[in-house]
Chains A and B, each alone.
Chain A
């Protein structure tokens, strides 16, 4: 991928939630690059900031208490200030589209599938023959045409996710964002949806940003992986490399958990403690849970250091010796 210009580039993104007088730094100084046709996974636990990050891309953050304090995005030849909600909203549809974890709450229970797909087509492709386009979209997500006249409650969870996907694809986006798209589904249905996403990416040469807490899901669709912790990007690398040789102690723990690694006494390898409230800036956000922490880890947030290859970086002083 190096040498190419990314389809999308997000830099210096910081987002704050204001809860009463308290400020929660949900995302701090994050970045994200996505190349054309590429699958990018964002991995992290609840509270890591991954959903907040992609909601900022879609201009879907609650306007009442969320504030984008900084952030620049370049997509194609357009450069935008991410704090400008109105201009960000114009990326929705043609450029960026999104599917969510719980399709039922994003579908209107009183409208047929046909009406909901038509809505997306009308807004983004007003001249298209809507009947033809609706059928094309159903073919694309492998649903029978008779589903067009169904209401959301008449469909199974897997079918609803396909409908949501059809609506998102109705806008012909360059990049699809999927936030835990299969978490609520049975494993066999999940496998079908993941296989479908993979085919669609290839057919439409579309990029994907996939958010998941499940490294297995990410591994099955993504070429590169971003790991987030405490609102920061803590590791980025090519999938195979990152999964084979995770650098950040947090990523190492996630990989061990995903592999159900056991210690010599038959216990599962664990990470001590749990995700706590957003740390407030001084020191490494992972410090309290880290088994490799050193004295200087509490002094400042480490920057991203290169691990072996320049495309593999980790926010951890363990790699500070291998200067970039």
Chain B
């Protein structure tokens, strides 16, 4: 909670301004994968981007990585608008943010050794490193692959799933980025190494002041790991705020549903029965058809993304009465 609050005053490492992405399907139908959206990640901050499949969270992450070009809007990394750069300038600017992917098997070239994978990342640094081999070994040890030298000449198929996920993180930090964008980095990993991966990311933040944008479908991870949580539904952010506040007391009915749907090892009953409804789509709130708390106006009016209590924002009429100042 400390870092999140302190960092609000500083400038964001990454800022998406009103980015929007529409896909046109073969039959001519248009899908607005990301509606005009703002997102900022501050220095040293861990932001969890949460939502179900189809919520637009991965498209938004790809826009942030400048892998996907938004139809409108700006992507600002370290003060520079990435969309206005030439391909060469973009390549250089982009080294300041590094991705960690979900599928650690597909994330590497199978014909490159661990050393080559890391050397390429190390070469992205502003200050050149004379001895790549030693530096690569040092980074491997930092992510818990010890002794580092023993891994340098291996290929990624010779590593276990957990080791590969660490290599993915090693490659990301080798470029000395200011921001890591990790798309579901835990979903391929075994349960017992989940804590190791999260601790590793926390260590790297402490050591380098790294910022982390963490994309996940698991809201319970967001609660324990992130400073701030951003919840997306059908291409729009529906709630945003300090993770411990949002999860302790979700403002948006969708966030409430996501939280209740996580099967807890302590609560024997699934508490979602009274949170599930199905009614016809409206023209107003995107969540209307699934919302237990919907009123008449929700069918026809789109709720604003308002700033309500506790410095959090949510897109729901229910919160209107709670407006502070």
Contact = CB atoms under 8 A, between A and B. Distances in A.
Interface of A: 45-46, 186-192, 194-195, 198, 213-217, 219-220, 239-240, 243, 250, 253-255, 257-260, 262, 266-271, 274-276, 289
B53 interface: yes
A187 B268 contact: no
B162 interface: yes
A219 B265 contact: yes
B201 to A, nearest CB: 10
Given A186-B53, A187-B52, A271-B192, A216 B264 contact: yes
Nearest to B52: A186
A219 B257 CA distance: 19
A195 B268 CA distance: 11
Interface in B259-273: 260-266, 268-270, 272-273
B272 A268 contact: no
A268 to B, nearest CB: 4
B92 interface: no
26 contacts: A46-B190, A186-B53, A187-B217, A187-B219, A187-B262, A188-B257, A190-B261, A191-B263, A195-B272, A195-B273, A214-B191, A216-B265, A217-B263, A219-B268, A220-B263, A220-B269, A250-B192, A257-B194, A258-B191, A266-B202, A267-B202, A268-B199, A269-B195, A270-B195, A274-B160, A274-B190
Determine the main DSSP class of A at the interface with B. Answer: helix
Interface residues of B, number: 38
A18 to B, nearest CB: 22
Interface of B: 52-53, 160-163, 190-196, 198-199, 202, 217-221, 223-224, 257-258, 260-266, 268-270, 272-273, 276
Contacts of B272: 188, 191-192, 195
Contacts of A215: 265
B186 to A, nearest CB: 11
A213 B52 contact: no
Contacts of B195: 257, 267-271
Given A187-B218, A188-B272, 6 more contacts: A186-B217, A195-B272, A219-B263, A253-B192, A268-B198, A271-B195
Contacts of B270: 191, 194-195, 198, 220
Contacts of A255: 265
A275 B190 CA distance: 8
Given A191-B272, A194-B263, A267 B199 contact: yes
A250 B265 CA distance: 16
A255 B192 CA distance: 10
A289 B192 CA distance: 11
Contacts of B258: 187-188
Contacts of B266: 219, 243, 259
Nearest to A182: B263
A270 B162 CA distance: 13
Nearest to B53: A186
Nearest to A183: B187
A198 B269 CA distance: 10
A6 B191 CA distance: 31
A182 B173 CA distance: 33
A270 B196 contact: yes
A214 B217 CA distance: 15
Most buried by A among B160, B190, B191, B269: B191
A257 B196 CA distance: 10
A190 B264 CA distance: 13
Given A188-B258, A188-B272, A262-B224, A46 B193 contact: no
A181 to B, nearest CB: 12
Nearest to A276: B160
